[in-house]
Amino acid sequence: MLRLHLAGPLLVPYLSIAECDIEGYTIPSGTRVFVNAWALSRDPSFWENAEEFIPERFLNSIAPDYNGNNFHFLPFGSGRRICPGINFAIATIEIMLANLVYRFDWEIPADQAAKGGIDMTEAFGLTVHRRRSSSLFLGSHKIK
């Protein structure tokens, strides 16, 4: 999910303090540069089936470096402007997700299931969010 559905499509802007060359493009000193993390995380030259949610892709390989060193996977940004909450997020996301899966029965409403499931079409802006809202039915587990 961190690769396909980033919270923000662009990283915090960088200001070039000196002229530099990036893959044949000259970036003059004083230029404000925006990194399109959304495009990098969906680059078909790096990711096989880039538009598909395939969590198994990370099982047979070394887990991707989310600390900003792998420039095809930047869910938290990189460098001095990396998200200050990265350690908190990584420490809590698995626990939160495991509790949600454990404590609730998840069901897609019949009208959405008939249309093929949840519509994940994105709308772009300052943040990336789903174009249409969806609902899920949650039933509590009876814990024995």
3-state secondary structure of 111: helix
Residue spans of alpha helices (H) in the chain = 37-40, 86-103, 110-114
**Using CA atoms, how far apart are residues 122 and 129, in angstroms rounded to an integer?**
6
**Using CA atoms, how far apart are residues 58 and 55, in angstroms rounded to an integer?**
6
Residue 83 assigned as binding residue: yes
10 Å Cβ neighbour count for 111? 8
DSSP character at residue 125: S
Determine phi and psi for 23, rounding to 5 degrees: 50, 45
10 Å Cβ neighbour count for 110? 9
Annotated binding-site residues read 83
Annotated binding-site residues for heme read 83
